[in-house]
A and B are shown apart, each in its own frame.
Chain A
Amino acid sequence: MKPPPFDYHAPRDLGEALAALAEAGPDGKVLAGGQSLIPLLNMRLAAPARLIDINRVAGLDTLSAGPEGVRAGALARHARVERSAEAAAVQPLLRRALRLVAHPVIRNRGTVVGSLVHADPAAELPAVLALLGGSVRLAAAGGAERDVPAAEFFTGPMESAVRPGELAVSAFFPALPPGSGVSFRELARRHGDYALAGVAVLVTPAAARVACIGVGPVPIVVDVTEQAAAGDWAAAAQAVRERVEPEEDIHASADYRRHLAGVLAGQALRDAAREAETTGVRHHA
């Protein structure tokens, strides 16, 4: 369980990092929190020729919360975002989702942006980004930054729109609209494990959406505005069940995952609708 040899770069600023990435091209890999990449290296499942460690790059360790939403820089750790009262006030779903991500020690190092780029189909944050319609900002040497909307960012299991030579510099999570509610529910075999299935839910005065994890190649967003308007949670759950594409693995059957997505969606929609009714404009995490 030792990684194969690789060249190691530890750039100090963004320009240097982008230059190193450009030079490495497809042979390069960004090292952020390392919570997903290092195990892959140690098990020799990944063997990049170059690692570009961004942990010392100035200016990426940012977290800002404003009326529009929350923007997390590439070095904003899970734990920092989880604990940020400002972020939670603007978008309470972030904190609730982050509490379900792994364990505290892993959240101390793992990054929000790294989790999005890693694009594990069972990860929580991709679902949050997809549900809220957020975006990821990408930079490359010599080019302009581009913002990729969530709907285009997740391209397959463990695959994102980041191209070789690109660095994800930040991610943007839109604020919770007034009179809205959110919820995250999942079922994991052990506390902190990737979920067997999970749902992030947003209920606004105008719409209701569910983003499901662990039941498809990417987060699956289901619009249940109609069913929610009628207060028909069973129909909403049924709509979720019909849309998800779970697969069987050693932990659960596809049928069970499908069933679970429906049950969790029903529960989370009730939570979010209740919150939308009772909390009005002010939200507490």
Chain B
Amino acid sequence: MTRLFGEPVPRREDPRLLTGQGRYLDDLGQGALAAAFVRSPHAHAGIVDIDLSAAIDVEGLVAVYTWEDLPERVGAPLPLLIPHPALTHGRTAYPLARDVVRHVGEPVVMVVARDRYVAEDVCSLIRVDYEVRKPVVGVPEAAAGAHLVHEDVPGNVGAHLVQEVPAADGRSAAQAVEDAPHRLTFRLGIERSASMPLEGRGVYARWDADDRSLRVYSSTQTSTSVRMALAARFGLPLPSVEVIAPDVGGGFGVKIVHPWPEEVLVPWAAMLLGREVKWAEDRREHFVSSAHERAQEQTVRVGFDDEGRVLGLDVTILHDHGAYTPYGIIVPIITSTQLLGPYRIGAYRVEFSSLYTNTVQVTPYRGAGRPQGVFCMERTMDRIAAHLGLDRTTVRAANFIQPGEFPYDQGLIFQDGRPLIYDSGNYPESLRLLKELIGWDDFPARRAEAAREGRRLGIGIGCYVEGTGVGPYEGGHVQVTSDGRVHVSTGLTSQGQGHETVFAQIAATELGVPLERVSVVTGDTRRFGYAVGTFASRAAVMSGNAIALACRKVREKALRIAADALEADPGDLEVADGVVRVAGSPGASIPLATVAVLANPLRYAFDEETGRATQFAAGAGMDRPPVDEGEEPGLEGRDYYSPIRSTYASGMHAAIVETDPDTAEIRILRYAVVHDCGKLINPMIVEGQIHGGVAQGVGGALYERMVYDGHGQLLNASFMDFLMPYATEIPLIETAHLETPSPLNPLGIKGAGEAGVIPVSAVIASAIEDAEGIVIDRMPISPSELFDLRRAPAPG
């Protein structure tokens, strides 16, 4: 049997992507008209007048649109994608601003022109008269509520949610904290960052007037859902709209939001003008008009016993949601539920308020609220350890859920609306592996040795549990054609994760065919129309299992047909190298290609091979119809995977950092990861995902932040001043895998896409605190800030 599942198969997409053969959005539609947008320069303002007179004569201008020009359905507010009862004041933007702008970068006018140069020239000539209003910037100002982002949202509170899991004896979390032998109260903060894919958003639309059909290419994480949204908005029959995600240069969450204003407007203009239209987002646009994440202020009250066991935990979160809530309150829900990590907590209460501000909207970015939750819990563990004078790993171990306790119900409702029940895991073993990998127990000696040379070292740790593979479902379609090739398609999209490789590994293993024969298509609604999308570390779990199930159907059918042809019992057959044979009798075999021919009885032949399946060919039984009852022609199968609930991956990271006593530079000397995502389909790809995630985590911990001034201007909207780390800033990442299979799905796998990023801020904060002996309660941290902290008077 071909065992490709579990092997470090090199990524099949790499030769194409690494040699410039990828076809990204802006590589398509070279003859298309270009769109550009006049965007608000103000964080909060009324639109008084739009004057096009200076712009209208520019040569090459094709069309200009404001909100007034949009038909009712096209101009309606963008959908609130994930409603929630606690989101009492959900607000979304109009595709083009109507009367009011609520953040710098909000689109106000759309320009279509011969090319992007002309379109931008026109934008610079359009005069918009604004009546500037007081903007609300940052959590404290939003919480104060003196000024409002939306006039009809009192206190700027879009959502408010409390979840509470009382103690076993029924006491509230507040009471459990109160009754505990030790208590601590403190505040924590995390600043804004963003997904920042190297390829921005983009959309390219063609209207076929003869066929009355619309084809849209979008750099999206969900083509099926964009398709449904556009068909509904334009009143087109669903079969007349196709949406394709071409090669996508990264998503990291921002491209799961849809439809974006441009995703509505560009196809609409293409239909109206009868011309191809394209818009490719530039970097400045991405900074000010897509989405950000992370910013939260947290207040923690914790009560614990002498061993450091948490008896009560009470957390209040103020979540900065930016100007709109198109993706609902998924981010703070994830923060407040995943905060618990691998721990069994005596009693837990969490309360969050989602606050509007006049800044770019907040939607999930890789990790999606988990980094904040883990920062909160792990900083808490470190505080407990410091308070009790215990080793930080001892305190964590004292709180771990034990291997025998699964499935473990945390008593909360997760982001999929289902109970937060951990399916499997082995946290003590994970910690043991991590301590060994980083040399936790030898560190005091290493630190002392460095100190003798005048160097300052610290070690830090962070643990997390990640709900992955959320539903509702994904599907897979597998077709074996008469040339023996295997065509796999699934509806969710790819942004460079390696789906072409892992889905082919799954199909090749299940069907017993060589990898080279398998091709994979994702994110093309022409091939597969039912899908949800790529987010929440779900592609492998969801589509991987769906493809495996579809392959099993195909295999079963192939065996049935081959058994007939070989006059054997299906139970005696096996498939390997693309050939079905009778086990133990090598002569009796039939290639899958031939089975595919036999599966599709023909009237017309088109080559020698298919001639064998036509009606006068020998061998057809006259006592049965050519296609048996209950069968379908062709060797293909389709199946879906819909999980009862999410599956919970986990991991633990540790780092050794050095802080320079003179310059306050912070360097990561070692970074170690133990990761458990159940059965590994491809360990190399999992490691790659971890490396990329850790790199983004290092960005969030030490480099990246969105710097808004009091007027709501983003001061660092370029890669010159938004410090996304280069390869030179990323340490070597050492990884060890643990495989605790998920009992929830046929392949036993869990998601791995987001894992790497989740605990990094917590780990680095822990290590800096250890090196410096200064409490680190806000991230990211820069050398300049560390310098300031060193000189600040000690609290108390």
Contacts and interface: CB of A to CB of B under 8 A. Distances in A.
19 contacts: A1-B120, A1-B284, A2-B116, A4-B120, A4-B121, A5-B117, A43-B284, A43-B718, A190-B703, A190-B723, A193-B723, A250-B715, A251-B721, A252-B783, A252-B784, A253-B787, A259-B787, A260-B663, A264-B663
B783 A256 contact: yes
A1 B121 CA distance: 11
Contact of B703 (A1, A39, A189, A260): A189
Contact of B665 (A2, A187, A255): A187
A276 interface: no
Interface in B690-745: 703, 707, 715-716, 718, 720-721, 723, 725-726, 728-729
A230 to B, nearest CB: 22
A117 to B, nearest CB: 20
Contacts of B663: 187, 260, 263-264
A44 interface: yes
A144 B725 CA distance: 48
Interface residues of B, number: 29
Contact of B707 (A43, A187, A250): A250
Which among A5, A189, A259, A263 has the greatest number of chain B C-beta atoms within 10 A?
Answer: A189
Given A252-B782, A252-B784, A253-B784, A190 B124 contact: no
A187 B783 contact: yes
Interface in A1-40: 1-5, 39
Contacts of B120: 1-2, 4, 44
A190 B728 contact: yes
B167 interface: no
A218 interface: no
Contacts, number: 65
A163 interface: no
A190 B783 CA distance: 12
A218 B723 CA distance: 24
Identify the interface centre among A39, A44, A252: most chain B CB within 10 Å of its CB: A252
B704 to A, nearest CB: 11
Which of A187, A192, A264 is packed against the most chain B CB atoms within 10 Å?
A187
A149 B307 CA distance: 71
Nearest to B787: A256
B117 A189 contact: no
B729 A191 contact: yes
A256 B715 contact: no
A72 interface: no
B662 interface: yes
A17 to B, nearest CB: 26
Given A189-B782, A256-B783, A250 B124 contact: no
B282 interface: yes
A196 interface: yes
Contacts of A264: 663
A193 B783 CA distance: 15
Given A190-B725, A191-B726, A193-B723, 18 more contacts: A4-B121, A4-B124, A5-B117, A43-B284, A43-B718, A190-B728, A192-B726, A192-B728, A196-B784, A250-B721, A251-B721, A251-B782, A252-B782, A253-B784, A255-B788, A256-B664, A260-B663, A264-B663
A192 B703 CA distance: 14
B182 interface: no
Interface in A225-273: 250-253, 255-256, 259-260, 263-264
Contacts of B487: none
B20 to A, nearest CB: 16
Contacts of A190: 703, 723, 725-726, 728-729
B283 interface: yes
Contact of B784 (A3, A43, A256, A263): A256
Given A4-B124, A191-B728, A253 B788 contact: yes
Interface string A21-65: 000000000000000000100011000000000000000000000
Interface string A181-203: 00000010111110010000000
6 cross-chain pairs, A with B, having the tightest CB-CB distances, nearest first: A191-B728, A252-B784, A1-B282, A256-B784, A2-B117, A250-B707
Contacts of B726: 190-192
Contacts of B728: 190-192
Contacts of A2: 116-117, 120
Nearest to A4: B121
Contacts of A193: 723
A44 B720 CA distance: 16
Contacts of A196: 783-784
A251 B715 CA distance: 11
A44 B124 contact: yes
A215 to B, nearest CB: 13
A39 B718 CA distance: 11
B788 A256 contact: yes
A190 B716 CA distance: 15
A252 B116 CA distance: 37
Contacts of A250: 707, 715-716, 721
Nearest to A187: B663
Interface in B115-147: 116-117, 120-121, 124
B742 to A, nearest CB: 39
B791 to A, nearest CB: 8
Contacts of A260: 663
A251 B783 CA distance: 9
A253 B729 CA distance: 22
Nearest to B716: A250
A269 to B, nearest CB: 14
A231 B92 CA distance: 66
A152 to B, nearest CB: 29
B344 to A, nearest CB: 41
A256 B783 CA distance: 9
Nearest to A3: B117
Nearest to B728: A191
Contacts of B725: 190
Interface in B262-290: 282-284
A243 B120 CA distance: 45
A4 B715 CA distance: 23
Nearest to B116: A2
A260 B787 CA distance: 10
Contacts of A3: 117
Nearest to A191: B728
A190 B703 CA distance: 8
Interface in B761-795: 782-784, 787-788
Contacts of B782: 189, 251-252
A1 B719 CA distance: 13
Nearest to B664: A256
Nearest to B722: A250
B729 A251 contact: no
Nearest to A266: B662
B125 to A, nearest CB: 10
Contacts of A39: 720
B147 to A, nearest CB: 24
Contacts of A1: 120, 282-284
A219 to B, nearest CB: 20
A134 B116 CA distance: 44
Contacts of A43: 284, 718
B650 to A, nearest CB: 31
A193 B729 CA distance: 12
Contacts of B703: 189-190
A4 B247 CA distance: 30
A223 B183 CA distance: 57
B708 to A, nearest CB: 10
A184 to B, nearest CB: 15
Nearest to B718: A43
A97 to B, nearest CB: 19
A4 B122 CA distance: 10
A236 B720 CA distance: 33
Which of A5, A191, A250, A263 gathers the greatest number of chain B CB atoms within 10 Å? Answer: A250
Nearest to A248: B784
Contacts of A253: 784, 787-788
B710 to A, nearest CB: 13
